[in-house]
Structure 1
Amino acid sequence: MADPSNITADEEVAAATGDTDVATAAAASAELENNKTNTMVEEGAHLIKKMEICVAEAEKRMGKNSVNIQETYTVYLIETRPIDAVAEGQNPAPDSLWRRYSEFELLRNYLLVTYPFVVVPPLPEKRAEFVWHKLSADNMDPDFVERRRVGLENFLLRVASHSVLSNDKIFYHFLKEENGWKEVVFETGFQAKADSRLRALNATFRVKTPDKRFTELKHYSDELQSVTSQLLRVRARVADRLYGVYKVHGNYGRVFSEWSAIEKEMGDGLQSAGHHMDAYASSIDDILEEEEHYADQLKEYLFYAEALRAVCRKHELMQYELETAVLDLTSKKQQREELATGTVRTFSFKGMTTKLFGQETQEQREAKLQVLEEQIIEGEELVKEKTVECEEFVKNAWVDMERFKEQKDRDLKEALINYAIMQIGVCKKGIQVWANAKECFSKM
């Protein structure tokens, strides 16, 4: 990709006026477009301040997958619009494109690899979990698809409001370029940089001096996931019971209505009370739908726990590579000392062969010393590089960790307060229903 800073004024004019041949004009046009992209991404700390972003709707489609099998899948419409135009009183039509859930996953995987020190926002669940019985666990269910649409929009807004992630050009391409986006991602080579789970697991068990802060962070993420999942399970059980209690009021309504048919003086009062009970019973659907909104906010932080652990695993891997480099350098220096003095401090195969076949010649020793000196210099450079890399990672990770903690405290506090307010309102409505029923009974 051409560097937009290399475009000259003459080339820009030539591309605009058509004085150059088609190929040159096309190249200049591409460079100008890239320049606009860079300007859009780099101005300001957050993309959210420059662009309105929303996932407007979801749509089911039919198509063939990679193995040529017909399948049904869902696509989501992403709409973007520059905030400057809206602020100036204009109302331009938004740019729009469709993305599948798998493309959101690809974007997030790219961000995880490219910014290992960042707590990358999680995606909404791919399949429904912790649901009450009336809500379908089918990932094609319209209610679930709608909730996932909201979650995907929240993911994009989280990334767009992050001071580091929002400046990534691949993220901008995801929002603006419908065709060729995947090719641009794969051209970055991020997959080659991705560490295998085996390496990460190996690092976890073999790091000799783990950073206590990251160890504590890993324990915290485990506890956060455990507590949040327990809370969601309790909430799902309570929702099931509450649903049953509310629907029983529908039986009250039916009985009161039937009873009113055989009573002359009490008939009107019984029928009115029955109507109140029916309305109360039907209100549970809206109540639990609203509860799902707060449950989804908790689920986001359930999945954030895995993002925290991903940062810890990256640090463990870097720490392991640093310790391996230090160990290798120490070994090389010891070999140099043994060659220089002619003494072997520890049992080794080399020491045994020396005793069996005699000492090496002076020329052989000098050649090996020369090789070792070169390896030691390379090892020292590697240790220095890994040390700086690790220190830089820790510095950046804890800056982002402070940002995440502030966001988490703010979001969870707001969600729990709003949930409490909602439950208080629900209880007040229940009291009002029975107060109305009491009034009906009093008038009989």
Structure 2
Amino acid sequence: MADRVGLDEDEVSVGINPAPGPEVEAETETGPEAGSDISDVKSTIMEDKTCLTKKMEINVSEAEKRTGKNAMNMQEIYTVYLIETRPQDSQNDEDSSAPDSLWRRYSEFEFLRNYLVVTYPCIVVPPLPEKRAEFVWHKLSADNMDPDFVERRRIGLENFLLRVALHSTLSCDPIFYLFLTQENGWKEAANETGFQAKADSRLKALHATFRVKNPDKRFMELKHYGDELQSIISHLLRVRAEMGDGLQSAGHHMDVYAASIDDILEEEEHYADQLKEYLFFAEALRSVCRKHELQQYDLEMAALDLTSKKQQREELATGTVRTFSLKGMTSKLFGQETPEQREAKLNVLEEQIVDGEELVKAKNLECDDFIKDAWADIEHFKEQKNNDLKEALISYAVMQISMCKKGIQVWTNAKECFSKM
């Protein structure tokens, strides 16, 4: 375990570097004053038992990808995380200085946690975020260099530091304080505590599990509780990952269906334009009817005028007035017209009657021709309208049936995705 604690396990690509490159910072740099400082740090921290978060603001503010050579002179790519700390008292100061900062690799966080686990065996030490993504649905990358995964791990590392800093005992550990505040020397100080010699091997722990004769019932129940908690949460995460796949697959089917909606709407616009055409045809029909009404009105006026002329001719010929009129009153007041005057008027009326009869005849022929031509065209329009609308509505119905079938298929596929969750 001691050999593996200092190794960097978060690299994603490793290869022999044929040419000499810049040296990377060694993780085992020694601090000349590390041994002398540790006792002072410990005494200072132990004087104040309050949790570290009340005295210091702690953030893991960003992550950065770096390239360098490892102990075997092999090229590697790794991620470092920026830890920033600031005294809580300086937050209220308008002229507060910039926070102290240093970069740490994930393997250094692992080293710190291993130290805490060994040094404080009776404490439930907060866990680190996963080294590589597990229980992910396939859209999310399991690559530990993926930006989304690195960001989630940055948040997890910050949460780890805050949980340790909030713990009444762990927050007072001097190595933890050096980890936050000193770039170098903290690891040597941890090794000087001899914690690695105290680390129990997994084989020894497994052997003790099966060979202990008088186990404490409370710890047996606690172990069972831990196993059950792990099993339940693993199951929830596995279901969540499977649900993610199912939801994404169902969403893909719905996206395909949604994309086809645009094509359907464009096709529906075509049918709508056909309907609009016949909407405007209705106004054209009314226009034909208005023209016929005007012709009919002219015919009726011509016939009425002809009837009036014939009545005047009869009155002049017989000398009797059948209806009350201004002319009749004038004759009574001023006497009857002379024969010559009546004859002249009769001749004028005869000419007007002949013209009126010709006009009525012409108007009748004009109305008959209009009705004949208009009705023939209207019958043609009706036939065209029936064919066009029948074709359009049938095509529209077929389109809707096809769309419904596609929708049913989409929901069937989505249902299968949901049923597999």
Indicate the TM-score class for this superposition, using the shorter chain for normalisation: 0.5 to 0.7
**1:22-61 alignment to 2 at 5 Å?**
35=40, 38-40=43-45, 42-61=47-66
Please, which moves more after superposition, 224-233 or 36-45?
A: 36-45
Segment of structure 1 superposing worse, 226-235 or 255-264: 255-264
Superposed CA RMSD: 2.6
C-alpha change, 1:50 and 1:257, in structure 2 (3 Å) is same
Q: Is the 8 A contact 1:112 1:118 kept in 2?
A: yes
Checking the alignment, whether the CA contact within 8 Å between 1:41 and 1:47 is kept in structure 2 is no
Q: 1:216 to 1:33 in 2, by over 3 A?
A: closer
Is 1:247 the equivalent of 2:257?
A: no
3-state DSSP class of the match of 1:77?
strand
TM-score for both structures, normalised by structure 1: 0.51
Counterparts of 1:215 and 1:201 in 2: how far apart (Å)? 14
Q: Could you say which residue in structure 1 is the equivalent of 2:141?
A: 136
Aligned residues with identical type, % of pairs: 65
Max radius of gyration: which structure?
2
Which of the numbers 140, 151, 154 marks the counterpart of 2:159? Answer: 154
Matched letter for residue 177 of structure 1: Q
CA distance, structure 2, for counterparts of residue 65 and residue 28 of structure 1: 26
1:125 to 115, 121, 130: 130
For residues 150 and 228 of structure 1, what CA distance do their matches in structure 2 show?
Answer: 20
2:156 maps to a residue whose letter is G
How far, CA to CA, are the matches of 1:30 and 1:201 in structure 2? 35
Q: 2:262 aligns with which of 252, 257, 264?
A: 257
Give 1:148 deviation, angstroms. 0.5
Q: 2:190 aligns with which of 163, 185, 194?
A: 185
**What 5-or-longer segments of structure 1 have no aligned partner?**
1-26, 269-444
- Between Structure 1 and Structure 2, how many residues are aligned? 242
| Alignment-derived partner of residue 70 in structure 2 | 65
Q: Give the deviation of 1:28 after TM superposition.
A: 11
Alpha-carbon displacement from aligned partner over 1:71-99 (angstroms, at most 9, x marks no partner): 10000000000111113444321100000
Partner of 1:91: 96
Which ranges of structure 2 fall in alignment gaps of 5 or more residues? 1-31, 274-421
Give, in whole Å, the separation in 1 of the partners of 2:153 and 2:224: 29
Instruction: Determine whether 1:207 maps to 2:212.
Output: yes
- Structure 1 segment 421-440 matched on structure 2, within 5 A: none
Distance 1:100 1:260, change over 3 A: same
Who is 2:120 aligned against? 115
CA contact (8 A) 2:45 2:174 kept: no
**Deviating 4+ runs (over 4 angstroms):** 27-38, 265-268
**Structure 2 counterpart SS, 1:257:** helix
The one of 83, 107, 110 equivalent to 1:102 is 107
After superposition, the Cα gap between the structure-2 partners of 1:42 and 1:148, relative to the gap in structure 1 and judged at 3 Å, is: farther
Residue identity in the other structure for 2:163: R
Q: Is 2:81 aligned against 1:76? A: yes
Give TM-score, length-normalised by structure 2: 0.54
Cα distance, 1:109–1:266 mapped onto 2, change above 3 Å: farther
Report the AA paired with residue 82 of structure 2: L
Distance 2:42 2:218 in 1: 38
**Is the contact between residue 259 and residue 267 of structure 1 (CA under 8 Å) also seen in structure 2?**
no
| Residue in structure 2 matched with residue 218 of structure 1 by the alignment | 223
Greater CA drift, 181-190 or 51-60: 181-190
Residue aligning to 1:365 = none
